[in-house]
Amino acid sequence: MALSAPTSYSSTDAEVRFQLPAGTQSGQPAGITGTRLVSGPGAGIDLIELCSGLLKVWIVPTRGMGIWRAELNGIPVEWKSPVRQLVHPKLVNLQARNGLGWLDGFSELVCRCGLAFNGPPETDSGAKSPIESEVTLHGRIANIPAHSVEARIEGDLLVCEGRIAESTLFGPQLELKTRVELPLGGTAFEVVDEVTNLGSGATELELLYHINVGRPFLDEGAKVAIPHRQVVPRDPRAAEGIDSYPTYLGPTAGYAEQAYFYEPIADAGGRTIALLRNAAGDRGFSVEFSPAELPRFITWKCTQPEADGYVTGLEPATNLPNPKSFERQQGRVISLPSGQTYRSSFRIRIDDTANGVREVESRIAAIQGSIAPTIHRTPQKGWSPSGG
């Protein structure tokens, strides 16, 4: 399946670049396409489309190498954010809205939260200096344009790489190198991230993957599953729904978000898998990852009306999305030594058949095995500020 004449997209190319389909796999021509948006709030955004022949994945270098959306045989893999356009980071003021300005640009399928901090805005009393103490919602990485972006075909893999510098003088110097791999003919893609501390001293790292999905994977009666030892409601609001924590409502007027924090279980190979499947069980969206790299997992239930963004988040993370000062107290903020790299990866798989969904469910059941998860009915000490 390897192609004889790999071609590539590079950020040093001219302004609007594209590549002819690199081969024909099935259904549609496989290949890589680069585009630059020219108007609206997204003007200047670069988009790279990888198409396996079956699965298309759109990467947004300009928004921190986030993944805007995907599409499998015409099935949209996305959510409908009230932020209806891709918004260029230049128009997103993270400080605005009392530190919640990040919400003004949030519309992706995969959006990284970090790197120096994530979680809600606060003044971090444990920060080294005023350069680091101002914490805005979910951090800076999703709103920094990538550099050294390149997409190419390696054997039978479509690959897109880029680097993002979250760096300042007298402050953290974190560089994210990310690589997206989509096999030709594949219906799953892998994201491999390496965050390196380029500074001379240790620096802090928080990384959460805000992976957001709506219809047709989310609907009334949809379910989320992940092998887990414990699950904890974040706050009293989440505690209200603890009896139905793995199932979803349809779009519900007046619904306020609920978040659940999981301790995942890994298989013998160190991997685990989270699945969102629709009520009918014929649409599945799954995220596979290694709890050794990403020891926390969060479900964000946000089944508000369609117009407001009917969505759920499946979120593997190094920490819980609490205030950074709280996470530091719990020992969940990584201290990354000078020159060291923190590696994390995840794999997103899309299923459009009941058989495919059952296969993932079987795998989850096998990892869960006979372990009965502890379901905490109230917020727990050390898990969130609500837990005391």
For the window 257-286, what string marks contact with a second copy as x by the rule CB under 8 A?
------------------------------
Q: How far apart are CA 155 and CA 145, in angstroms?
A: 28
Q: Which residue type does 280 have?
A: A
List the interface residues with a second copy, window 143-162 (CB under 8 A). 144-149
Note whether 104 binds a second copy by CB under 8 A: yes
Q: Applying CB under 8 A, does 202 fall inside the site for a second copy? A: no
Q: Mention every residue, 6+ apart, whose C-beta is less than 8 A from residue 366.
A: 267
Residue whose C-alpha is closest to residue 346's, from 213, 212, 209, 223: 209
Using DSSP's 3-state secondary structure scheme, residue 52 falls into coil
Please report whether residue 88 would count as binding a second copy according to CB under 8 A. yes
For a second copy, the closer CB: 132 or 351 = 132
Nearer to a second copy, 83 or 354 (CB): 83
SS3 104: helix
What's the Cα-to-Cα distance from 168 to each of 93, 143, 156, 293, rounded to whole Å?
17, 15, 38, 26
Q: Tell me if 338 contacts a second copy by CB under 8 A.
A: yes
**Which of 159/232 has CB closer to a second copy?**
159
DSSP 3-state of 284: strand
Residue 104: which of 70, 81, 76 has the closest Cα? 81
Q: Which residues lie closer than 8 Å to 37 by C-beta, 6 or more apart?
A: 43, 44, 45, 46, 47, 86
Supply the DSSP symbol for 337: P
CB 154 to a second copy: min, Å: 21
Q: Least separation, in Å, of the C-beta of 140 and a second copy?
A: 9
Q: Could you say which of 6, 130, 270, 331 contacts a second copy (CB under 8 A)?
A: 130
By CB atoms closer than 10 A (0-12, 13-18, 19+), residue 292 is exposed
Of the candidates 58, 68, 106, 245, which one interacts with a second copy according to CB under 8 A? Answer: 106
Is residue 117 a contact point for a second copy (CB under 8 A)? Answer: no
Token pair for residue 219? 């609907």
Largest CA distance in the chain: 60
Name the one range near a second copy by CB under 8 A: 40-48, 227-235, 271-279, 367-375: 40-48
* CB nearer a second copy, residue 147 or residue 377: 147
What is the phi/psi pair of residue 386, to 5°? -65, -25
User: Which of the residues 50 through 69 are near a second copy (CB under 8 A)?
Assistant: 61-62
Q: Which is nearer to a second copy, 293 or 308 (CB)?
A: 308
Q: Which of 1, 26, 29, 96 binds a second copy (CB under 8 A)?
A: 96
- What DSSP character marks residue 43? T
Minimum CB distance to a second copy, residue 218 (Å): 16
Q: Examine residue 385 and tell whether it contacts a second copy (CB under 8 A).
A: no
The DSSP bridge pattern shows strands 134-135 and 122-123 to be antiparallel
Rounded Cα–Cα distance for residues 148 and 144 (Å):
13
In the list 24, 73, 95, 335, the residue contacting a second copy (rule: CB under 8 A) is 95
Q: Verify binding: residue 126, a second copy, rule CB under 8 A.
A: no
Shortest distance, position 121 Cβ to a second copy, whole Å: 8
Q: Rule CB under 8 A: which residues touch a second copy?
A: 11-15, 38-44, 46, 61-62, 81-85, 88-91, 93-100, 103-104, 106, 130-134, 136, 144-149, 165, 167-171, 173, 198-201, 253, 304-309, 338
